[in-house]
Structure 1
């Protein structure tokens, strides 16, 4: 896929900035040269320069210490927010079956728009709605809270062919838009990869104006995380809920 004018301009700006850092002695020439040589020689330079980390640690219920440490690092490295481990431990972890072993931590006042804008600085993103926070949501970040979801790259297969209306009828709670974006950002930071590359997460915990249901997945054709929507009665094999315990 050909680079856009904006992408080319950003690349030239980055190259110029790096050369200025080398000139001013703030970056080592040999290190920069090795990276550039790798990019020149290897079409798959991304996997060589940024090998995948181990998958997000899957820890059984009642022992989430390593995940809390990861979230502490994530908030500081990605969001620039310093939060103590003591504070993260003070946030109630909901009781759930051991299979719900991924934590998703939401700090007070975090919004979908903020997270989307932060993600856009590090990966390509697209959205159908200008304001991702508009509408109604089962949970909002007026306080710190944690939800638990199953440790899966793809949304829950148990709920394929279920519409948002059907999910509500059987009493299953799904993720909100902001929670799904938070999990995407955390997962990408941890693994250098993306969620829902084959399927789509229906964010049934949210409703945008008009009663539509937001959805999130990785668009491989466009190499972007995309926030779209579907009708509350829409169902299909690739439309799936991620059950959330709160």
Structure 2
């Protein structure tokens, strides 16, 4: 019976209470979510960008429009909560492929890649997502010092930390160049740990100061080196 009592509490209410406690215990739900609900706020915000985040999304929209002739639909972009110290918002537009990003970069400054094939044919993302996406990375010229000497395989299997992929890294280079006229990874290289070549190798991107160009190279998933680092991506 729907209104049956268990002690002084209706059975349905007891079920909801018990389910809530179990979800909190198992960390399926958080106390912050429960607190927001109790205060009459939406515990599950849409993630639509507001404030400074929205301004940055608008900057990305202008960049895509100006450089690619692509109209970014900002209404469908989810922006996750920002983590302290990880404050560079990157927006990857659904209609811009990795090869398109590389070609545009090559129009702006010298570039080289380790394959004659289209990057769209030989590189894929380990975590494919539909639509345009927004995520946070550290706002630094050099890839994350925190992950020096950590290979892509260990980032995935041991640390369980996602890193920026090849498309995102190239787009970041483009936006940084348009902002500053300078380049990323002058002294180090970004391991694009969320991307793989078809043969299992991992893209590595850096600015080759002597050659004066952006290099898209490749390393093994097990390769670790002091100047090769993952750029953590919070999504």
Greater C-alpha Rg: 2
How does 1:188-227 map onto structure 2 within 5 Å?
188-227=177-216
Q: What are structure 1's unaligned runs of at least 5 residues?
A: 1-60
Runs of 4+ residues over 3 Å off in structure 1: 139-142
2:229 corresponding residue in structure 1:
240
3-state SS of paired residue (1:121):
helix
Structure 1 residues 135 and 68: alpha-carbon distance in aligned structure 2, compared to 1, 3 A threshold: closer
| TM-score, normalised relative to structure 2 | 0.73
3-state SS of paired residue (2:83):
coil
2:148 corresponding residue in structure 1:
160
1:132 corresponding residue in structure 2:
119
3-state SS of paired residue (2:108):
coil
Q: What are structure 2's unaligned runs of at least 5 residues?
A: 1-49
- Counterpart of 2:92 (choices 106, 119, 122) is 106
- Answer whether contact 1:177 1:206 (CA < 8 A) is retained: yes
3-state SS of paired residue (2:119):
coil
Are 2:86 and 1:88 aligned?
A: no
What is the distance in 1 between the residues matched to 2:91 and 2:127? 12
- Answer whether contact 2:80 2:234 (CA < 8 A) is retained: yes
- Answer whether contact 2:135 2:233 (CA < 8 A) is retained: yes
Taking only aligned residues, the RMSD between alpha carbons, in angstroms, comes to 1.8
| TM-score, normalised relative to structure 1 | 0.70
